[in-house]
């Protein structure tokens, strides 16, 4: 992978790019006037661009789309809730004002944003993302002001992004330290589709749901865990999860009370 910057360069952006290159043990190469497409044809390398308005990742795979952070459907879902509507994830999680929530499968952060909205101004969300590039894009994107109203950007800024393996990181957490733990293993099976999801799929972590993962989530949660899965998944019965949301939906949320 090559780390570079947008063509319009300032010292802070260059310093950020150089720091990222050191952290990822990847070369930093000045952008100058290079075209990304031509650069990739010449090098056959993934290219990560650091920019003031948000970073972009260009996979070398010809069919893969560039990745950059966008709240995607979280904006429309959040607006619906803000106007008094409901959301199946928030119904399943029963997130309350002031809650501390662990999203163990952050992805592009749409569900974390919803959980942050549910937890309110005094709540927090910790999002764990296994894929370093995705974690980097989302961490920076959540802090950019964008063109959204304050209540939405404030929710995004209440999310803390940690890069790593969620199962291993959960093992380091004390019992009952999170009000709600959320698991979305959707990339283990291609069910949920949207332009944002389809772009993320080639680089997403695809770890399947396991007994040990569920056990750790139940140990860490103070109140309940929530699992997102396709509607016909055997996991609902296997882990005694209570389904929430429309029965006709392609994906559903299942919840279970935590250990007490």
Average pLDDT, the chain: 90
Q: Which residues pair with 162 in a beta bridge?
A: 128
In a shared domain, residues 190 and 218: yes
Provide mean pLDDT across the span 199-227.
84
d(CA 59, CA 203): 9
**The model's pTM:** 0.90
CA distances 115 to 97, 206, 209, Å, are: 10, 22, 21
Q: Which residues pair with 225 in a beta bridge?
A: 181, 256
Which range of residues forms the domain containing residue 37? 2-67
In a shared domain, residues 49 and 107: no
Provide mean pLDDT across the span 35-55.
92
In contact, 5 and 47? CB cutoff 8 Å: no
Domain end position, chosen among 46, 67, 88: 67
Provide mean pLDDT across the span 104-113.
95
In a shared domain, residues 135 and 27: no
**CA 58 remoteness from chain centre:** 18
Structure confidence at residue 44 (pLDDT) = 93
d(CA 53, CA 41): 26
Helix (H), strand (E), coil (C) string for 42-66: HHCCCEEEECCCCCEEECCCCCCCC
In contact, 60 and 86? CB cutoff 8 Å: no
In a shared domain, residues 14 and 125: no
H/E stretch holding 259 reads none
d(CA 195, CA 199): 6
Q: Strand, coil or helix: what is 75? A: helix
Residue percentage of the chain with pLDDT more than 90: 74
In a shared domain, residues 16 and 145: no
What is the CATH number for 157?
3.40.50.150
198 versus 112: which is more confidently predicted?
Answer: 112
Structure confidence at residue 197 (pLDDT) = 57
pLDDT in tens, 144-163: 877 899 999 999 999 999 99
In a shared domain, residues 6 and 129: no
pLDDT in tens, 63-78: 778 999 999 899 999 9
Torsion angle of the four alpha carbons 220, 137, 191, 46, in this order, in degrees rounded to the nearest 10: -130
In contact, 5 and 17? CB cutoff 8 Å: yes
Reply yes or no on whether the pLDDT at 82 is more than 90. Answer: yes
Reply yes or no on whether the pLDDT at 24 is more than 60. Answer: yes
d(CA 217, CA 111): 17
In a shared domain, residues 175 and 99: yes
CA angle 166, 172, 178 (to 5 degrees): 75
In a shared domain, residues 150 and 24: no
In a shared domain, residues 173 and 52: no
Structure confidence at residue 108 (pLDDT) = 93
In a shared domain, residues 36 and 157: no
Number of domains in the chain: 2
In a shared domain, residues 38 and 119: no
Q: What is the DSSP track for 133-196?
A: HHHHHHHHHTTS-TTS-HHHHHHHHTEEEEES-HHHHHTTSPTT-EEEEEE--GGGS-----HH
CA distances 22 to 2, 16, 25, 113, 258, Å, are: 11, 10, 5, 30, 41
Structure confidence at residue 206 (pLDDT) = 66
Provide mean pLDDT across the span 16-38.
93
Reply yes or no on whether the pLDDT at 139 is more than 70. Answer: yes
């Amino acid at each position: 992978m090559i780390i570079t910057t947008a063509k319009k360069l300032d010292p802070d952006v260059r310093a950020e790019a150089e720091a990222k290159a050191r952290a990822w043990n990847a070369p930093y190469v000045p952008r100058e006037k290079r075209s990304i497409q031509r650069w990739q044809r010449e090098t056959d390398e993934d290219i990560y661009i650091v920019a003031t308005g948000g970073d972009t990742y260009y996979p070398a795979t010809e069919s893969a789309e560039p990745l950059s952070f966008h709240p995607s459907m979280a904006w429309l879902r959040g607006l619906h809730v803000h106007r008094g509507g409901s959301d199946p994830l928030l119904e399943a999680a029963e997130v309350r004002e002031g809650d501390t929530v662990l999203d163990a499968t952050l992805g592009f952060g749409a569900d974390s944003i919803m959980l942050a909205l549910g937890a309110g101004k005094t709540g927090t969300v910790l999002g764990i993302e296994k894929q370093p590039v995705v974690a980097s894009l989302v961490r920076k994107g959540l802090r950019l002001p964008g063109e959204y109203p304050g209540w939405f950007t404030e929710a995004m800024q209440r999310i803390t992004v940690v890069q790593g393996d969620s199962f291993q990181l959960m093992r380091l957490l004390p019992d009952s330290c999170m009000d709600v733990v959320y698991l979305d293993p959707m990339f283990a099976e291609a069910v949920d589709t949207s332009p944002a999801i389809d772009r993320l799929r080639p680089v997403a972590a695809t770890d399947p749901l396991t007994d040990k993962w569920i056990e750790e989530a139940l140990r860490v949660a103070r109140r309940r865990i929530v699992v997102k899965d396709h509607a016909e998944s055997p996991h609902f019965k296997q882990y005694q999860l209570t389904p929430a949301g429309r029965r006709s939906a392609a994906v559903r949320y299942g919840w279970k009370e935590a250990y007490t």
